[in-house]
Every structure is written in C-alpha cells, then in structure tokens.
C-alpha cells in the first residue's frame, strides 16, 4: 500500500465533477489497490473520510471510517465504508450546523450546515449495492465526501465565513470538551 499525495485547495481537480467508475472496473487489481491506498492515506492523515479527487484521481470513489481517530476522539464509530458512484437524498429539511475540517484545506475549521439525515445509494468495494439511511455525524461525513465528488468543498456550504478559524485558534477557543487549550 502507498500513501497518496493529498490535493490542496486551489488544485483544479478539487473543483471538477468526478467521473463515475464503470462497474466492470471495480474488481480490477488497479481499482482495488487504489482503494487500499485511499484507506491507508486517510488513516495516515487521521482523516474520517477521503474522496478520490483529494488524491488527484477524478473518479467517484470515497472511503470513510471513524475508529479511534485522534482528530475526533469523542465521535461515534463509523465502520470502514467504501462507496463507488454514491448518490445522496436528504431525508427532510432539517439541518444541523457543526464544525468541519478537510485534509485538502489543512489547518482550518468552520461551521457548516448539513442535512441531519440522508439516504445513500452506492456500490460497495466489490460492486455490491449499498443502501443506507444515516444520521448525525455519519450523514455529515457522507455529505462532505460526496461534495468532493461534485467539485465542492465545505467552504462552499458555509453561509457565513465568520466562524472560519485556524486550527490552533479553534483548538484554543472553540474545541468542545476538556482538550481545549487555554
């Protein structure tokens, strides 16, 4: 497995709609190796999700996982999930505004409104149909990664950039809980 280079905000690939992956390409050794590399890269950077455009590949592939992440120690676990050609449908109009960050926009955090619950339809790692209804943080991560596949970043969803904070200042003044620096 390899750690892939993460594209940073400003790289054109982050603003391009990713190409769907043909189902027949899913079981190929190249695709399976790429998925392994995405998982390894996400874990290396303590991320909870990673989309293919973030590692310079314009394909509709995303990986997610929350298990003991030092960046998100108090969040509920999300099992390792591989999504290919995902489609999300909001379940209702209710949104929740919470803090988000992004491996492609290092050292910044901002408050982003997202739908509280969504329905996911996608293909899984072996090309099997995946259908989930998820809420709260899992729904937020799905929406964040699916935005990457549409050429969007979380900054595009912020109605007010007034909450945008550098990571050090966010940790000092805004991080909830006892980890907060004073």
State how far the Cα of 162 lies from the Cα of 128, in Å rounded to an integer.
42
Looking at residue 176, what is its pLDDT? 65
179 belongs to a structural domain:
no
DSSP state of 60: S
178 belongs to a structural domain:
no
Q: What is the largest CA-CA distance in the chain?
A: 54
2 belongs to a structural domain:
no
Please tell me the total count of domains within the chain.
1
138 belongs to a structural domain:
yes
Looking at residue 73, what is its pLDDT? 62
107-162 pLDDT per residue, tens: 999 999 999 999 999 999 999 999 999 999 999 999 999 999 999 999 999 999 98
- pLDDT confidence band for 181 (50 / 70 / 90): very low
Looking at residue 182, what is its pLDDT? 43
Looking at residue 170, what is its pLDDT? 85
143 belongs to a structural domain:
yes
Whole-number mean pLDDT of the chain?
Answer: 92
What is the dihedral sign for C-alpha 174, 105, 73, 169? Answer: negative
156 belongs to a structural domain:
yes
Residue 50 has pLDDT above 70, yes or no: yes
83-97 pLDDT per residue, tens: 999 999 999 999 999
Looking at residue 180, what is its pLDDT? 43
Nearest to 60 by CA among 137, 122, 103: 122
The mean pLDDT value for 39-60 works out to 96
Where in the sequence is the domain holding 148, given as residue range(s)? 12-173
Residue 102 has pLDDT above 50, yes or no: yes
Asked if 60 and 19 count as a contact pair (C-beta separation under 8 A), the reply is yes
State how far the Cα of 46 lies from the Cα of 28, in Å rounded to an integer.
27
List, by residue number, the catalytic residues. 145
What CATH number has the domain bearing residue 147? 3.90.45.10
Q: Which residues pair with 112 in a beta bridge?
A: 98
Residue 65 has pLDDT above 50, yes or no: yes
Looking at residue 148, what is its pLDDT? 98
């Amino acid at each position: 497995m390899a750690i892939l280079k993460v594209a940073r905000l400003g790289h054109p690939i982050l603003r391009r709609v990713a190409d769907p992956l043909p189902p027949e390409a899913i079981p190929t050794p190249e695709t399976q190796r790429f998925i392994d590399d995405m998982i390894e890269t996400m874990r290396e950077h303590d991320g909870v999700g990673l989309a293919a455009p973030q590692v310079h590949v314009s394909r509709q592939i995303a990986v997610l996982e929350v298990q003991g992440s030092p960046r998100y120690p108090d969040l509920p676990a999300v099992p390792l999930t591989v999504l290919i050609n995902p489609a999300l449908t909001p379940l209702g109009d209710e949104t929740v505004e919470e803090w988000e960050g992004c491996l492609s926009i290092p050292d910044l955090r901002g408050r982003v409104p997202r739908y509280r619950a969504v329905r996911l339809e996608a293909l899984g790692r072996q090309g099997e149909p995946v259908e989930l209804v998820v809420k709260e943080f899992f729904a937020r991560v799905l929406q964040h990664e699916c935005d990457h596949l549409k050429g969007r970043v979380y900054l595009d969803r912020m109605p007010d950039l007034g909450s945008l904070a550098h990571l050090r200042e966010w940790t000092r003044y805004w991080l909830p809980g006892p980890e907060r620096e004073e």
